[in-house]
């Protein structure tokens, strides 16, 4: 009798069971009719697969990439049309938690432990891409990737050291002694062995939720991320989370990471429409200290590659990312564009969230009061300031207005070259609560609003760039914000 139930009823039963958390796989074995009803429900959810390097014990919730290939090949190829989301857990030999070891004489960053992980990473990506390269490009896939270590690892010539990222009285030499975080990359930075996979349209390199291991960082190096994206010729979205802890005194690591992102962005196919990137804040030990210069050269190549990438984008989201303030539309000292031919035909949404209070060159955008600045100048023992848990913190209420005039002048010139623009959000990571919102509403009406605790008021250069008169501004939000309304956007 079970085999004669209408397919619509079986699907309704399956949906009800699925909502209640009941595993559906056993029901597919009743008969072919039940299999046809329940399998689309199973495979339309996020499917978790794992690399099976070395035959290790895998997470219970995942199937191996070999089983995945068998389930979606030959007679099972129909399942490809149901699968939309994959999470790929890459199993490497060794788990290497960040900042839990210190180096000793003889240590090398290129060592057998890290190299074994990199080889396993390469093999895992290659195997999955070989499987997916046979899929039709119309079977659009969203792919999440992350690493899991098979067993706790210890690198040669290191020893366990808890909280090696900290600067303490017991560990003031961590700049040279703390072991740098491990992030997987292709050996010799060579990913040319990867086949192209046109069915992948979205990549996620973010923190993953694994039922067996909890929240895990993806642990993939920036260059490898974009090498993977490079081999997805129909890629539409890339989401990257690089918000993992580093030591501010290991500047060479921070610069290398930033440069890897800059170089990687140049590899991304022009099909990309959504770029969502979260960086680490990359702040000094204490607010009293100089900000960090994370540039590898005199020019901000990262800002230039983001701008070049944005030309074809529909959505640009950056979080905790320090960039030259006129990165989208460079301007001269008079507030005029230096690249007048720039045009963004597709860009609809720009979000700049938790923007650092400093430039990537190490220049602070906010400052202490003169009285506090004098106290800072008199400090002789900086070790004491850094190590003391209650010292080194300072408010920075003095605002470099000119720098933000430059930002909003640049944004105004850029916005008027974006015919599809619907919104811009800017939020400064600061106690002054500085925020800018621009929104286009029905009928092409638009509003631009500047919120802050410091009474920021756009000047004539900002007004000219956006196409309004200074007299058009009105105080709103209990006189804590300036707002401008546009009858039509873009303005004539």
- Locate 243 and state its tokens: 């918000």
- For residue range 197-223, what is the model confidence (pLDDT) as tens digits? 999 999 999 987 656 566 778 999 999
198 by DSSP, 3-state: which? coil
Q: What is the full DSSP assignment across 231-279?
A: T-TT--EEEEE------TT-HHHHHHHHHHHHHHHTTS-TT--EEEEE-
- For residue range 400-453, what is the model confidence (pLDDT) as tens digits? 999 999 999 999 999 999 999 999 999 999 888 899 999 998 878 999 999 988
How would residue 300 be classed by pLDDT, with cut points 50, 70 and 90? very high
User: Is the pLDDT confidence value at 226 over 90?
Assistant: yes
pLDDT at 61: 66
Give percent of the chain with pLDDT exceeding 70. 88
Name the least confident of 27-31, 72-76, 183-187: 27-31
Find out whether 281 and 317 touch, Cβ atoms under 8 Å: no
CA dist 50 → 45, 78, 148, 149, 465 (Å): 16, 21, 10, 12, 51
484-488: average pLDDT: 94
CA distance 461 to 472: 14
Find out whether 288 and 322 touch, Cβ atoms under 8 Å: no
User: Is the pLDDT confidence value at 22 over 80?
Assistant: no
18-38: average pLDDT: 62
Name the least confident of 71-85, 358-372, 388-402, 451-465: 71-85
In this structure, is the dihedral angle defined by the CA atoms of residues 395, 400, 404 and 407, taken in order, positive or negative?
Answer: negative
User: Is the pLDDT confidence value at 325 over 80?
Assistant: yes
Find out whether 359 and 402 touch, Cβ atoms under 8 Å: no
380-389: average pLDDT: 92
User: Is the pLDDT confidence value at 27 over 80?
Assistant: no
CA dist 346 → 137, 239, 273, 420 (Å): 23, 19, 8, 6
- For residue range 274-290, what is the model confidence (pLDDT) as tens digits? 999 999 999 999 999 99
Closest CA to 210 of 358, 87, 348: 87
- For residue range 100-127, what is the model confidence (pLDDT) as tens digits? 999 999 999 999 999 999 999 999 999 9
- For residue range 42-69, what is the model confidence (pLDDT) as tens digits? 665 677 898 875 555 555 568 899 989 9
pTM above 0.75, yes or no: yes
């Amino acid at each position: 009798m079970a085999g004669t139930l209408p397919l619509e009823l079986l699907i309704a039963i399956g949906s009800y069971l699925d909502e209640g958390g009941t595993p559906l796989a056993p029901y597919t074995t009743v008969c072919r009719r039940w299999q046809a009803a329940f399998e689309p429900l199973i495979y339309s959810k996020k499917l978790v697969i794992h690399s099976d390097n070395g035959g290790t014990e895998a997470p219970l919730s995942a199937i191996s990439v070999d089983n995945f290939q068998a389930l979606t090949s030959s007679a099972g190829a129909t399942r490809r049309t149901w699968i939309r989301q994959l999470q790929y857990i890459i199993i490497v030999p060794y788990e290497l938690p960040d900042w839990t070891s210190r180096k000793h004489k003889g240590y090398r960053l290129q060592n057998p432990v890290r190299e074994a992980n990199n080889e396993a990473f390469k093999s895992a990506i290659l195997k999955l891409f070989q499987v997916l390269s046979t899929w039709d490009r119309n079977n659009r896939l969203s792919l999440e990737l992350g690493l899991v270590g098979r067993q706790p690892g210890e690198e040669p010539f290191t020893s366990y050291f808890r909280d090696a990222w900290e600067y303490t009285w017991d560990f003031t030499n961590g700049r040279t002694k703390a072991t740098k975080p491990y992030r997987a990359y292709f050996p010799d930075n060579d990913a040319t062995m990867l086949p192209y996979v046109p069915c992948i349209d979205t990549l996620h390199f973010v923190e993953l939720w694994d039922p067996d291991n909890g929240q895990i960082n993806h642990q993939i190096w920036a260059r490898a991320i974009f090498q993977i994206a490079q081999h997805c010729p129909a890629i539409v979205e890339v989401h990257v989370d690089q918000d993992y802890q580093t030591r501010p005194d290991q500047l060479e690591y921070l610069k290398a990471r930033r440069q890897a992102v800059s170089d990687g962005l140049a590899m991304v196919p022009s099909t990309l429409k959504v770029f969502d990137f979260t960086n680490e804040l990359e702040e000094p030990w204490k607010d009293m200290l100089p900000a960090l210069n994370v540039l590898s050269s005199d020019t901000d190549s990262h800002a230039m590659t983001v701008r070049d990438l944005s030309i074809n984008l529909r959505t640009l989201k950056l979080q905790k990312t320090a960039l030259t303030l006129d990165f989208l539309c460079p301007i001269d000292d008079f507030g005029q564009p230096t690249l007048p031919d720039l045009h963004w035909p597709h860009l609809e949404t720009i979000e700049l969230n938790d923007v650092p209070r400093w430039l990537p060159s190490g220049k602070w955008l906010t400052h202490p009061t003169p009285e506090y600045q004098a106290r800072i100048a008199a400090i002789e023992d900086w070790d004491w300031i850094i190590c003391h848990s209650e010292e080194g913190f300072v408010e920075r209420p003095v605002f470099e207005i000119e720098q933000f005039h430059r930002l909003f002048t640049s944004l105004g010139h850029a916005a008027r070259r974006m015919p599809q623009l619907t919104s811009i959000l800017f939020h400064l990571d600061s106690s002054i609560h500085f925020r800018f919102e621009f929104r286009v509403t029905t009928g092409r009406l638009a509003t631009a609003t500047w919120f802050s605790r410091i009474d920021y008021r756009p000047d004539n250069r900002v007004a000219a760039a956006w196409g309004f008169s200074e007299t058009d501004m009105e105080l709103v939000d209990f006189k804590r914000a300036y707002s401008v309304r546009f009858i039509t956007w873009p303005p004539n």
